[in-house]
Structure 1
């Protein structure tokens, strides 16, 4: 699949991948920071953002989408940064195509299985009456009935798209993502590993990475380190952008 992406800056390639329900827009601000040192590729993964939709949604196909992008762009080796689902894509990519990965940054996700836990987010999507929607403010008011957190609503509503005929729809492929959400939680399996330098960056207030995950992380990524950003939840890049950018640049730059 030909993924939608945008580039910023010049230098060695850094491919950035967002989490589920997200898009390349989520990393625009930090992408500009990183573009002072790298050629940054901000990617919309399949069924997200402005990338094509497909009924097939799992890590194997998402990995091959990224490999196709690299081949199309003439990139033989890149640094990778992935958050949440994007971090899982990056981990799978690194263990399957290790020769194409220089250094790996994984933000607030471990290589383990996560049970489905996005039910409230899906309720938020379904709470919006797209057929009769007049504006974004109305969408936010409808969603507030089921999701009280303003930041979470704004994150979800980044997917709201106004069509040429004035109607509203979702940019992402909500139906397929919801039906395949079990695949999003899949962990690494088997005797695979990536020996390259890797950093896992955990949110101090998040429960996605905990102390019991260290052994599993070391199994798959023997040259890895785990760093915690105090005061950050799961969306580390949105809550503590300066701390995250400092960690990433200290890790990636010689």
Structure 2
């Protein structure tokens, strides 16, 4: 799997890998990249199905993390810090579990390690399958429905320019790739990493929005299982904290990455 990437070499001895969320690409993490580039090299990627990385062939979440490991090796980066948001956070968890020797630390924003209950995971796959069909049949209508999900209701308070920019980024994605990604490494198909969390020894910063009740609860449980983690709840924020509370997010992650 060839991952499209951009490597900003700032002549630092340490690198941060940025992993974006669903229906976006590496450009959605630009604000975060700008916040950390004074202190770190930045490796931005398009995850499979988004941006310029196609979703082709048969692969799993573990294959995605394997491809990222190969990319890091090819760039001779050694250990990296990781910042993963939502879908990108799930990829980050997979990477930490499968390639601990390549991880210096991780920031997981609004992240889940998957669904442990098999029946619940099967139900989620049916939801993801239906979403994939809707994406392919009427992408614009799907985006409209996606933006109305309670998960993103707090984003209505953002300025119109930011909201329009995010919508344009979503609509710019390839519908076939986005749909295929759900069926290859969506929450309903990926394996659960809950039981693997206790073996992750790298420092981990968990961040969730106070208004995002579901992921706040998930992150509290993750914090109980991870051996070396801390959990920060951002007041007033929802799911996409790095966009809704950008300045606060930047301060928190820099304190962790530099100090941790």
**Displacement, 1:2?**
2.1
**SS state of the match for residue 42, structure 1?**
strand
Mapped to 1, the partners of 2:137 and 2:244 lie a distance apart of 26
Q: How does 1:1-254 map to 2 (within 5 A)?
A: 1-8=1-8, 9-11=10-12, 12-113=14-115, 115=124, 123=134, 126-128=137-139, 144=144, 155=166, 157-161=168-172, 170=174, 173-180=177-184, 181-183=186-188, 186-191=191-196, 193-211=199-217, 213-219=219-225, 221-254=226-259
Residues paired across the two proteins, number: 235
Moved more, 7-16 or 228-237: 7-16
**Displacement, 1:185?**
6.0
Gaps of at least 5 residues in structure 2 are 116-120, 149-155
Relative to 1, partners in 2 of residues 1:68 and 1:229: Cα closer, same or farther, differing over 3 Å? same
**SS state of the match for residue 84, structure 2?**
strand
Deviations 1:189-235 (A, max 9, x none): 5455211111100011113423465344432x211011011111111
**SS state of the match for residue 205, structure 2?**
strand
Mapped to 2, the partners of 1:60 and 1:232 lie a distance apart of 31
**SS state of the match for residue 16, structure 1?**
strand
Contact residue 202 and residue 228 of structure 1 kept, 8 A: yes
Contact residue 61 and residue 190 of structure 2 kept, 8 A: no
Deviations 1:94-126 (A, max 9, x none): 122111100111001132417366667974664
**Displacement, 1:248?**
0.3
Deviations 1:149-206 (A, max 9, x none): 7877753541445xxxxxxx82760341243435466430545521111110001111
Mapped to 1, the partners of 2:193 and 2:143 lie a distance apart of 34
| 2:153 corresponds to | none
TM-score normalised to structure 2 length: 0.77
**SS state of the match for residue 53, structure 2?**
coil
Relative to 1, partners in 2 of residues 1:230 and 1:46: Cα closer, same or farther, differing over 3 Å? same
Gaps of at least 5 residues in structure 1 are 129-138, 162-168
* CA RMSD of superposed structures (Å): 3.1
Moved more, 231-240 or 207-216: 207-216
TM-score normalised to structure 1 length: 0.79
Relative to 1, partners in 2 of residues 1:182 and 1:39: Cα closer, same or farther, differing over 3 Å? closer
Mapped to 2, the partners of 1:208 and 1:195 lie a distance apart of 25
Contact residue 17 and residue 42 of structure 2 kept, 8 A: yes
